[in-house]
Structure 1
Amino acid sequence: MRVVFMGTPDFAVPSLEALADAHDVALVLTRPDAVRGRGRALVPSPVKARALELGLPVLEAGRVTPEVMVALRDARPDVICVAAYGCILPDEVLGLAPGGCVNVHASLLPRWRGAAPIQRAILAGDELTGVSIMRIGHGVDTGAYCAQAATGVAGKSTAELTAELARMGAELLVDVLPSVFDGSAAWTEQDEALVTHAAKVGKAEMLLDPEDTAERNLARVLASGDTAPARCSVAGRGVRVCAAAAGDGDVPAGSVLVSHGRAWLGCSDGSIEVVRVKPDGKREMDASAWAAGLRGDGIAWGRA
């Protein structure tokens, strides 16, 4: 089967690899190189980097221009597969391939349509999340789906859950693609009454708060990422909490307990134990190294 693949971040790489192993990937479309890191250097997308390693033809595009449409037609795809490409596709693309255009979406639709389904599932305390293989339509993640796979959410960080769902999505995509192409796939329309929207997570949402529950603050740590990190202020200094665990004792809300190289932040109904941190202006470190610098009784913490 001739496939055009569209994707950009790490989440999309396993789908690209699985398709390249099982089918003829005629073209890979990804977003252009972006400036990243402290050196402000142009860095290729993870999909571009892996596609070049696999010897696949790559086209960089931030939107579908007439030139891009020519390249897509020349690729003569039987089906177009998308995984977190990051661009709205026009009708001309959706109707190009005989098998249509399908997307690997990181949620159990209709729950969590939109930009940040994995983080929203963590922040909401969902028991389950998963992946859906869906048709791409005119709305944001509104299309019917033909397959889903689920996994538990509890205790998993955004990075861990993203990697797991990426693998699941790749396996599911390759498994159902033949039935999508030959028309035998069974499609389920989404129940609009069950829709939730996964808006992009803002930095303010991720600020740890001693007036919130331990569960709520721990969810922020698990859901955090570079663009919206879990942060707080300890002894008047800003710090990013990179990893944490449920506390095993009561600590007054707003207080910090330091004992034997361990540190706990008191919340409204208990505490969370800090495991790894990145103090402002310093490298990421284990909490034991950070706690060694916290001196005296009555250390307080609050929103950054």
Structure 2
Amino acid sequence: MLKVLFAGTPDVAVPALRQLAGDTEHFEVVAALTRPDAPKGRGRKLEPSPVKRAALELGIPVLESDPKEPTFVSELKASGAEAGAVVAYGNILRQNVLEALPMGWYNLHFSLLPQWRGAAPVQRAIWSGDTVTGATVFRLTRGMDTGPILAQSTCEIGAHETSGDVLAKLADDGSRLLAATLTAMASGEIVPQEQPQGAYEVASKIGHDDAHVRFDVPVFAADRQIRACTPEPGAWCTMHPQGGVAKADGTDDGEAFHILKARPADAADPQTPKDLKPGALAVSKKHVWVGTATTPIELETVKAQGKKAMRAADWARGARLGDGAFAD
């Protein structure tokens, strides 16, 4: 039985923790390493990470120590762990930490390495128009996602899937891949393969400003951006329901507006407006379209500032859109 220290933080890491903890024939999860409780919501109340909540539910000891602290290596050795399993932990592990466990550290990464090394591999794959992605288990080394590969699995990216949709599939499939790979590694059945050399796209983190949707681009580009940024950090634009009418304070009527679901409009549908300028809105009883540099994109689910998520057509009826309403 392999004694494993699990390191992870967000929801996407929880399936792998549960998979390892449930396979008591092959694994003993001796501890779960996660980021400290963080402030969440309007009240900024400290909340535990999803991995911490799952570990406590499973009766697994939780470590929230900073890996940079001088005492961290001693904590690792005291845990009795032989190997580390990492899924979206969110901290860089230094060389002395990587060397502290006798069988090393193994990371489940959500791309087909060496493509899309970095923090946001699924989001960047969707934004770039990839139709296939996958999961990779590799041994952690000092470089960013550059260690030798033990196993990979592939996954299709559906035409209308968001990054949240794809990550959910990969988290589930990847949990089984990680468990099978660690089992084979422990028994010597896998020989890690060095990653090929070359120039590959890096999956840099996507921030709030990156998620500001552009409509002066072809519809496929706007669609990819929205899907890549959903649910995190959340695709958004500024909505001007009265066409940018000036207020008494000198500002216009624009307000932040989140797009939760959208898709390219059917150009063959006679209802789809023609020659809609980028950012311009068109509304029917059941549809809300926004113009792009090519054909319109149809908004399906939205969230206006201070409102709950709702169907775009329902929002449009309540918003009392004026002539010249637009989004930018």
- Residues 57 and 85 of structure 1: is their aligned pair in 2 closer, same or farther, counting only changes over 3 Å? same
> Does the 8 A contact of 1:234 with 1:299 survive in 2?
no
Q: Which moved more, 1:117-126 or 1:221-230?
A: 221-230
Task: State the match for 1:115 in structure 2.
Answer: 119
1:225 deviates by: 4.3
- Write out per-residue CA displacement over residues 23-55 of structure 1, whole angstroms, 9 at most, x where no aligned residue: 110111111000011121000000000000000
Q: Report whether the alignment pairs 1:133 with 2:137.
A: yes
1:82 paired residue number = 86
Query: Does structure 2 conserve the Cα–Cα contact (< 8 Å) formed by 1:102 and 1:135?
Result: yes
How far apart, in 2, do the equivalents of 1:281 and 1:205 lie?
Answer: 22
* 1:59-74 matches, cutoff 5 A: 59-74=63-78
The equivalent residue for 1:151 is 155
The Cα shift of 1:301 comes to 2.1
Question: 1:157–1:226: structure 2 CA closer, same or farther, 3 Å change rule?
Answer: closer
Match of 2:262 in 1: 244
Q: Structure 1: where are the runs of 5+ without partners?
A: none
Of the candidates 32, 36, 59, which is equivalent to residue 36 of structure 2?
A: 32
| 1: CA distance, partners of 2:19 / 2:191 | 22
Separation in 2, partners of 1:53, 1:92: 31
Q: Does the aligned pair in 2 maintain the 1:266–1:272 contact within 8 Å?
A: yes
TM-score by length of 1: 0.94
Asked if 2 retains the 8 angstrom alpha-carbon contact of 1:261 and 1:292, the reply is no
- 2:248 corresponds to: none
Question: Unaligned stretches of 5+ in structure 2?
Answer: 245-253, 267-271
1:253 partnered with 2:277? yes
Paired residues, what number? 303
Q: 2:13 maps to which residue?
A: 12
**Structure 1 residue 19 displacement after superposition:** 0.7
1:100 equivalent in alignment to 2:104:
yes
CA distance 1:100–1:250, change in 2 (3 Å): same
Q: Which residue of 1 aligns with 2:226?
A: 221
After TM superposition, give the deviation of residue 280 of structure 1 in Å.
Answer: 1.9
Q: Is the Cα contact below 8 Å between 2:290 and 2:327 reproduced in 1?
A: no
Q: Using the TM superposition, give the Cα deviation of residue 115 of structure 1 relative to its aligned residue in structure 2, in angstroms.
A: 0.8
Give deviations 1:199-225, integer Å, cap 9, x for gaps. 111333322222111111111211124
Shift of residue 240, structure 1, vs aligned partner: 1.1
- Taking only the aligned residue pairs, the percentage that are identical comes to 38
Kindly state the Cα deviation for residue 78 of structure 1 after the two structures are TM-superposed. 2.2
Larger radius of gyration: 2
Q: For residues 167-178 of structure 1, what are the structure 2 equivalents within 5 Å?
A: 167-178=172-183
The CA distance in 1 between the partners of 2:211 and 2:118, in whole Å, is 19
Name the Cα RMSD after superposition: 1.7
Cα distance, 1:92 vs. partner? 2.1
Kept after mapping to 1: 8 A contact 2:66/2:72 = no
Q: Which residue of 1 aligns with 2:249?
A: none
SS in 2 for 1:88: coil
d(CA) in 2 for partners of 1:202 and 1:46?
21
- Structure 1 contact 82–104 (Cα < 8 Å) conserved: yes
* CA spacing shift, 1:29–1:296, aligned 2, 3 Å: closer
Write the distance in 2 (CA, Å) between the matches of 1:147 and 1:98.
20
